[in-house]
């Protein structure tokens, strides 16, 4: 059965469930019509998300996790953040899905079916960290425009697919290739088919990395529709906007890709530090590439209470973009002193690393546990906030939880 029919039937089945009644004349509904009763749908049922997830926006959908929900070593779908720029595609015909590779720097453009991609090229599986460039934006002051992410726009799922480099080598790339740009099946919020909601990309060295995948499975199953089914780009360690969903075409460019949300100020930060609130010229903004070192305490959740004399066991994850985390520490005295955590090596490059520690508190009272990661080049997380920037990107301040000893 074609995926288009499946999606349509699934939509009406979900719709009937949400409305709690059969849509009697569903066959007569115009294509793309949204029933009035579904104009405020339940996102938790719609996307199979946990009800503790936080919805930041519904046009487009943007949903994040709370820190304690991200305790799994491999992030399950129900706790994965959603960051969309347009409308999720519905009419997906997987049997006729095609990927086009073209552009100024392609020797001879080629088109592949999804079946050809899966069978012609070797499959690879990696755990890859994806984090929204604006994760932590809510802490910046002056406030930055955009979704006010706290700490939960990050995940590390297991992705299975084919290496982008294998496809590019099969097509044939010219020596003048500089960048790849992705083009997807999502729809602009205006409904204008001529406008792309987002079309970003990566330089050729990132496109040719072993772990840069065109993925068709997440955690061993078909990728959920909201996360890019049936084919998505996964470029771990970079802002998640570089990992386009619902991929239909990849263009190999002889210049930095100039698609939607590639130009300043989108996904760019000042090339040099600026004062909070300062206006920055577009030409003084640099594209975000590798994400900074960061960590997250996932157990216990903030507000934990323990009895005096008891030991508190903490755990969490740390990551450092293209780099590896070299050290992990915690503090219970607001950063005056630091103690080492046990830190595991990553399962593979670009996967987050797990840490744990056992903490003793000197007496009853209120404490904060701060977590600080240091990458293998010696760069540590700032204790409070990094340098301000107009779009509120790259907040990698130490994560903190409150603890009361009674």
For residue 357, give its domain range.
294-405
Of 287, 305, 323, the one marking the end of a domain is 287
Asked if 111 and 247 sit in the same domain, the reply is yes
Q: Quickly list DSSP for 346-364.
A: PSSTTS-EEEEEEE--SSS
Of 241, 264, 287, the one marking the end of a domain is 287
As for how many domains the chain has, the answer is 3
What pLDDT does residue 6 have? 45
Of 287, 315, 343, the one marking the end of a domain is 287
The residue to which tokens 């000197």 are assigned: 362
Residue 321 has pLDDT above 90, yes or no: yes
The residue to which tokens 């996360």 are assigned: 227
Assess if residue 47 is contained within a domain.
no
Assess if residue 48 is contained within a domain.
no
CATH of the domain at 209: 3.90.420.10
What pLDDT does residue 368 have? 98
Asked if 154 and 268 sit in the same domain, the reply is yes
Residue 374 has pLDDT above 60, yes or no: yes
Q: Which region among 185-194, 232-241, 336-345, 372-381 has the lowest average model confidence (pLDDT)? A: 185-194
CB atoms within 10 A of CB 333: 11
What pLDDT does residue 8 have? 47
pLDDT digits (tens, 9 = 90+) for 268-287: 999 999 999 999 999 999 99
Name the more confident of 20 and 387.
387
pLDDT bucket at 32, cuts 50 / 70 / 90: low
Per-residue burial over 139-177, b if 16 or more Cβ lie within 10 Å, else e, is: bbeeebebbbbbbbbbbbbbbbbbbbbbbbeebebeeeb
Assess if residue 365 is contained within a domain.
yes
DSSP annotation of 8 reads H
What pLDDT does residue 39 have? 65
What pLDDT does residue 29 have? 79
What pLDDT does residue 1 have? 45
CB atoms within 10 A of CB 320: 28
Q: How far apart are CA 74 and CA 128, in angstroms?
A: 9
CATH of the domain at 331: 2.60.40.650
Assess if residue 249 is contained within a domain.
yes
Asked if 300 and 262 sit in the same domain, the reply is no
Question: What is the pLDDT averaged over residues 370-397?
Answer: 96
Asked if 334 and 386 sit in the same domain, the reply is yes
| Segment holding 54, helix H or strand E | strand 54-58
Asked if 244 and 113 sit in the same domain, the reply is yes
What pLDDT does residue 37 have? 61
Q: How far apart are CA 230 and CA 248, in angstroms?
A: 10
Asked if 300 and 273 sit in the same domain, the reply is no
Residue 116 has pLDDT above 90, yes or no: yes
Assess if residue 56 is contained within a domain.
no
Average pLDDT score, the chain: 93
Residue 296 has pLDDT above 90, yes or no: yes
pLDDT bucket at 25, cuts 50 / 70 / 90: confident
Assess if residue 322 is contained within a domain.
yes
The residue to which tokens 């994560």 are assigned: 399
What pLDDT does residue 224 have? 97
Asked if 331 and 278 sit in the same domain, the reply is no
Looking at the chain, the number of H-run helices and the number of E-run strands are 5, 24
Asked if 391 and 366 sit in the same domain, the reply is yes
338 contacts 393 by C-beta, under 8 angstroms: no
Asked if 211 and 352 sit in the same domain, the reply is no
Assess if residue 360 is contained within a domain.
yes
Alpha helix locations (H) across 150-281? 164-171, 204-207
pLDDT digits (tens, 9 = 90+) for 80-112: 999 999 999 988 999 999 999 999 999 999 999
Asked if 163 and 227 sit in the same domain, the reply is yes
Asked if 246 and 196 sit in the same domain, the reply is yes
Assess if residue 54 is contained within a domain.
no
pLDDT digits (tens, 9 = 90+) for 138-173: 999 999 999 999 999 999 999 999 999 999 999 999
Q: Which region among 2-6, 59-63, 85-89, 378-382 has the lowest average model confidence (pLDDT)? A: 2-6
Asked if 262 and 341 sit in the same domain, the reply is no
The residue to which tokens 């640099």 are assigned: 286
Q: How far apart are CA 328 and CA 294, in angstroms?
A: 10
Question: What is the pLDDT averaged over residues 235-256?
Answer: 98
What pLDDT does residue 7 have? 44
């Amino acid at each position: 059965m074609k995926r288009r029919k499946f999606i349509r039937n699934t939509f009406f089945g979900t719709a009937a469930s949400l409305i709690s009644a059969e849509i009697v004349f569903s066959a007569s509904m115009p294509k793309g019509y949204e029933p009035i009763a579904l104009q405020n749908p339940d996102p938790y049922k719609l996307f199979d998300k946990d009800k503790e997830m936080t919805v930041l926006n519904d046009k487009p959908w943007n949903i994040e996790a709370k820190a304690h929900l991200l305790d799994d070593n491999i992030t399950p779908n129900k706790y994965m953040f959603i960051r969309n720029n347009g409308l999720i595609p519905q009419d997906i015909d997987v049997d006729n899905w095609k990927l086009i590779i073209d552009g100024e720097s392609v020797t001879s453009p080629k088109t592949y079916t999804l079946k050809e991609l899966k069978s012609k090229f070797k499959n690879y599986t990696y755990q890859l960290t994806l984090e929204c460039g604006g994760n932590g934006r809510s802490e910046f002051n002056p406030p930055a425009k955009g979704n006010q992410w706290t700490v939960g726009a990050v995940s590390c799922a297991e992705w299975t697919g084919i290496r982008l480099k294998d496809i590019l080598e099969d097509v044939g790339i010219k020596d003048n290739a500089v960048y790849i740009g992705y083009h997807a099946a999502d729809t602009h919020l205006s409904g204008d088919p001529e406008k792309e909601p987002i079309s970003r990309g990566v330089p050729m060295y990132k496109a040719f990395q072993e772990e840069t995948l065109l993925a068709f499975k997440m955690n061993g199953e078909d990728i959920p529709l909201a996360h890019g089914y049936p084919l998505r780009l996964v470029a771990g360690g970079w802002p998640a906007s570089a990992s386009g969903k619902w991929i239909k075409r990849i263009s190999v460019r002889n210049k930095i890709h100039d698609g939607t949300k590639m130009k300043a100020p989108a996904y760019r930060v000042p090339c040099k530090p600026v004062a909070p609130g300062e206006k920055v010229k577009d030409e003084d903004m640099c594209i975000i590439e590798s994400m900074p070192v960061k960590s997250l305490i996932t157990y216990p959740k903030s507000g934990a209470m323990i009895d005096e004399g008891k030991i508190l066991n903490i755990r969490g994850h740390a990551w450092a973009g293209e780099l590896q985390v070299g050290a992990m520490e915690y503090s219970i005295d607001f950063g005056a002193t630091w103690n080492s955590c046990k830190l595991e090596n990553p399962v593979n490059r670009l996967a987050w690393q797990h840490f744990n520690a056992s903490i003793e508190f000197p007496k009853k009272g209120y404490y904060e546990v701060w977590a600080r990661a240091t990458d293998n080049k010696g760069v540590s997380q700032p204790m409070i906030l990094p340098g301000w920037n107009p779009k509120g990107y790259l907040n990698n301040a130490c994560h903190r939880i409150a603890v009361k000893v009674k």
